[in-house]
Structure 1
Amino acid sequence: MSSPGVTPDRRPGLDSVLRGLSCWWMISPLILLTPVTALALGFPSVRERFGAVFGVAALISAVLPPAAGFALALAGGRRRARRRFAVMAGVGSVPVVFFLVFGVLLAECPAGHRC
């Protein structure tokens, strides 16, 4: 039983996992821009073959780490980490909503087809 003024015991393993999830989330824009960078460097086949895979990987990297990190921080009693992962979830939801609205819901129909 802990006293009100005592902080929870620190588990280095949980802190390392939370740090790793934060780093994973921070590299999601790099994952998204990898095919464009490969095209600029003269490797168009990378974008043609793996462009969609990198897009899906970036989308997953924008959603999964904040959700998992928030759950782990909640279970571990890490208040600052919970706030950090809540902000990460808000920022990470922007490209997801953008993709859903403009890529799926407002996608233009080809000429002669009804949506």
Structure 2
Amino acid sequence: MPSAAYDAGMPPSGIAPEGRRGGSSSTGLASARADRTIRALSWWWASAPLLLFAPAIAQAMGLPDVRREVGWAFALMALFTAVLAPAAGLVVARVGDRPEARGRFLIMAVLSGVPILFFLFFGVLFPECPDGYHC
């Protein structure tokens, strides 16, 4: 006696042919694209400390000119990486409906924000108080 799946046009194995699957292949492509983008943004964010310390590493390897001449460029790239990667990741995770990636990018944003705020407070705002005054 044939099964109900066989009567509905499905083979006895229960696996539907390509044309009868519920989703279309474009959603699978968009899902894979979102996953690759999330992975790339995660790696991009993880490269920020390496960018920040690259001039110091170059100086330790005997290349002091790198730190003197282009150290500011590496620091600027590290700052942009630390800020833009989590922001772009949150957008991609929101559009791609990835709640676990949204949480990961929120953690990245907090971890990036703490040192930036620390630098702004102690490096920019705190030293502006003249000697002898309590701000």
TM-score, with length taken from structure 1: 0.83
**1:44 equivalent in structure 2:** 64
Q: Percent identity?
A: 47
- 1:75 has 2:105 as partner: no
Structure 1 residues 49-97: Cα deviation after superposition (integer angstroms, max 9, x where no partner):
0111111111111110001101110111101000000011010111211
Give me the whole-angstrom Cα distance separating, in 1, the residues matched to 2:118 and 2:79. Answer: 11
Q: How many residues align?
A: 103
**1:99 equivalent in structure 2:** 119
- 1:64 has 2:84 as partner: yes
Unaligned residue ranges in structure 2 (runs of 5+): 1-26
**2:36 equivalent in structure 1:** 16
Structure with bigger RCO (C-alpha 8 Å, 6+ apart): 1
SS at match of 1:42: coil
1:63 partner letter: V
**1:26 equivalent in structure 2:** 46
Unaligned residue ranges in structure 1 (runs of 5+): 1-8
TM-score, with length taken from structure 2: 0.71
The alignment yields a C-alpha RMSD, in angstroms, of 1.8
Give me the whole-angstrom Cα distance separating, in 1, the residues matched to 2:57 and 2:37. Answer: 29
